[in-house]
Structure 1
Amino acid sequence: MIENLNDLHNLLFKELNLTFHELENSNLISELNPDLLDYAMNFGSSIPKNNHQDHLEIQQNRTNSELTNFISENSGNWNIAVHKKTNELYTNEHWLYTESNLSDYRKLNFGIEECLISFSLQELYFAFCENEIEVKSELNLIPIWTDKRYSSKERTHSFLYDSEFKALKFIHSENNFEKIAFIE
């Protein structure tokens, strides 16, 4: 079960043996954002990227100088940002579903650690879900992250994991992902 960034770090770097890659522009992160700074220094951009994934990219927010963008949707449609002084999360994802403006950022009302863990597990899943591995026995998928939030206030993200086969299943409240990600 993952409860915090330390547990996630152990999964990614000790159990799954991912390689650490330094994150660009981490100097834009305020010292008042300790969880994001910790994530940048200890996780970097270690999850392999592909075009179907959201991206961890540190950038100055163009419409609000008090915000630092740190996650960008894979098509560039929305961002998640952190307030440089209050450590609160903001997103402009809602503009896709409402009559709001792309530059309208709204507070998410949950912590950055929950967002970063959900993001990391989601991107890990998408990075490896196309692996075609034949499993000769039944998977023992156990819940490791359940009913958590990512880019909206809704609890949409749950993950199951089998440590023997390094298999990750993503359950999203609005999408049915059938494939299993085998991390190799």
Structure 2
Amino acid sequence: MKAIENLDDLHNLFFSEWLLPFVELKNTDLILESNFILFNYVKNFGASIPKNNNQDHLEINQNSNKFELINFIAENSGNWNIAVSKKTEEIYTNEHWLYTNSNFSEYKKLNFGIEECLITFSLQEIYFAFCENNVEIKSELNLEPLWVNKRYNSIERTHSFFYDSELKALKLVHSENNFDNIAFIRPN
């Protein structure tokens, strides 16, 4: 498996190699075709990432912000959102309210592309969906770079993913958290 470069590569990994089932996403009518990348993501990936209560999730809903934003990613406990402008591909977050003197309704521009955000989000959520705590690895993993030094909900490059294609093993390395578990991608 070569490193992921774009959403087409991620789509091939999800649906050709991992054989994830496609699940249609609700509220897609809020995504305008002018938001080309998000529109295509919603149509081509849907809600195919298995989720549980500990994961962020793709959730399309109207934002009440003055920038005419559409929320498309929600943090697992509702603490922040990532949104896209209705008119451009620019993305915004309100995550900064957790550690600054701002409020939940204040969004700031992230200054990187929506494609990077979506790929990082998708790999992170797949990692958590398939992460297994008590798996004994019987052979040495051959983890190769899959998506390295990327951004998600802040301008910091916090996320790196490594993958063993033979065992379908995914490792997340995060600059602020230590994740020791390996996700073995085995859809039901």
* TM-superposition CA deviations, 1:106-157 (whole Å, max 9, x none): 0000000000000000000000112643322100000110000000000001
What are the residue-to-residue correspondences of 1:87-106 with 2, within 5 Å? 87-106=89-108
- Unaligned runs of 5+ residues in structure 2 are none
The CA RMSD measured in Å over matched residues stands at: 1.0
Residue 106 (structure 2) pairs with residue 122 (structure 1)? no
What are the residue-to-residue correspondences of 1:143-154 with 2, within 5 Å? 143-154=145-156
Provide the rounded CA distance (Å) in 2 between the counterparts of 1:21 and 1:44. Answer: 6
Q: TM-score, normalised on structure 1?
A: 0.97
Provide the rounded CA distance (Å) in 1 between the counterparts of 2:120 and 2:34. Answer: 22
Provide the rounded CA distance (Å) in 2 between the counterparts of 1:64 and 1:34. Answer: 22
Correspondence for 2:74: 72
User: Does the 8 Å CA contact 1:131/1:182 hold for their aligned counterparts?
Assistant: no
User: Does the 8 Å CA contact 2:117/2:152 hold for their aligned counterparts?
Assistant: yes
Correspondence for 2:42: 40
Provide the rounded CA distance (Å) in 2 between the counterparts of 1:41 and 1:74. Answer: 23
Provide the rounded CA distance (Å) in 1 between the counterparts of 2:123 and 2:82. Answer: 16
**2:94 aligned partner, one-letter code:** N
User: Does the 8 Å CA contact 1:133/1:182 hold for their aligned counterparts?
Assistant: no
Provide the rounded CA distance (Å) in 1 between the counterparts of 2:92 and 2:125. Answer: 20
**1:12 aligned partner, one-letter code:** F
Q: Which runs of 4+ in 1 moved over 4 A?
A: none
Q: TM-score, normalised on structure 2?
A: 0.95
* More off after superposition, 38-47 vs 57-66: 57-66
**1:82 aligned partner, one-letter code:** V
- The alignment partner of 1:37 has SS state of helix
Query: CA distance change for structure 1 residues 133 and 142 in 2, over 3 Å: closer, same or farther?
Result: same
Correspondence for 1:8: 10
- Unaligned runs of 5+ residues in structure 1 are none
**Number of aligned pairs?**
184
Kindly state the Cα deviation for residue 65 of structure 1 after the two structures are TM-superposed. Answer: 6.1
